[in-house]
Amino acid sequence: MQELQNEIFPRGQKNDAFARYFIGQSYLCRLSTEQVPIANVTFEPGCRNNWHIHRAASGGGQILLVTGGRGWYQEWGQPARALRPGDVVNIPAGVKHWHGAARDSWFSHLAVEVPGTETSNEWLEPVDDDQYGRLD
């Protein structure tokens, strides 16, 4: 499996601070910490984050801008959606979801934190290995 080619943004360092919320290795590079927080998140093949919810009293949520590789996004109770460069995912606050790389591809996206009040992340259970394994 080849690594991502022509990466637009720096990959950053291993995402050790959030490793307990991921299956596999991810990398994090914070691109903006002012006005609107934006991070480049890169996933090795097979890496995905746990189910999680972006909480907010008002506003909030997250926008994913896919920049490289092939990955997946899934909301609780919905089928998984394949992601490729150029795809945009709008995730409202309060929606349980996960995202990550396909089994055979690196994957990267910009994670844009939508401004809101009383925002937080609630990390939940890992994505089921059998369910993930059925994605192609």
Tens digit of pLDDT for each residue in 17-74?
A: 999 999 999 999 999 999 999 999 999 999 999 999 999 999 999 999 999 999 999 9
pTM of the model: 0.94
Question: Within 10 A of 13 (CB to CB), how many other CB atoms are there?
Answer: 10
Radius of gyration of the chain (CA): 14
22 and 52 Cβ atoms separated by less than 8 Å: no
